[in-house]
Amino acid sequence: MKSTKRLFKDRVYEQLARMTKAVASPQRLELLELLSQSPRTVENLAREAHLTVANTSRHLQILRAAHLIDAEKEGVFVRYRLTDDTVADFYRALRILAASHLTELDHLARQFFAEPRGLEPVDRKALLARVRKGLATVIDVRPVEEYRAGHIAGAISLPVDELKDRLAELPRDQEIVAYCRGPYCVLAAHAVELLRKHGFQAIRLEDSVADWRAHGLPVAVVPVATVPVATVPPKTVPPKTASRTS
């Protein structure tokens, strides 16, 4: 018969395993990444992840059972969100751990983002120096709802789907730095390619907003409103104290 101490340890690890089981799916990891950007409906998540609504709903129920996400009814829709910031931190820590230990992941990233595509990323210190000198403009190429939920302070919202029609809004005498959801998001890479084809000096920032916040750098949110993003003054969120490096 197991001792009381052994039973306790078994039950503790059983609860911890609930988390690993919940995220043991490529699709559910992508859903967590999307929800790390902003709350979303099932329909929106299904579209972004290229899944059926029914399949997306099943994955969300597994994540919800592990208390990684919550849901609330909004009319005929259900909107999902992370239960709290620790879930976003958990996803980011997992991504950093994988990048540090899985050579296959590093190879995939280098193969996709490396030259001659010209999409090697700029690091945050170099970016801050350029912005302070007035040499760079930062653009957030994620969907507007993600920008509203949290963005690098001072960044301009230019969703990648709108970028081609809004090139006139960008200065041609500065470097354009595009960022999206993190180092494995392809939106910024696509934006950089488009900008370079139209004669802009463009580079990719591989940080996500969560990375920016984790390193103690300022993040802003846009209050919920019906007016365009550009006309709403952003509210700066105090940065967290950096505790991890990437």
Catalytic residue list contains 180? yes
182, 32 Cβ separation under 8 angstroms: no
DSSP-derived secondary structure for 76-117: TEEEEEESSHHHHHHHHHHHHHHHHH-HHHHHHHHHHHSTTS
Catalytic residue among 138, 149, 180, 192: 180
Task: Give strand pairing partners of 235.
Answer: 221
Check residue 165 and report its DSSP letter: G
How far are the Cα atoms of 8, 11, 29, 54 from residue 16, in angstroms, in the given order?
13, 9, 17, 27
The Cα 24–Cα 32 span in angstroms is 12
The set of catalytic residues is: 180
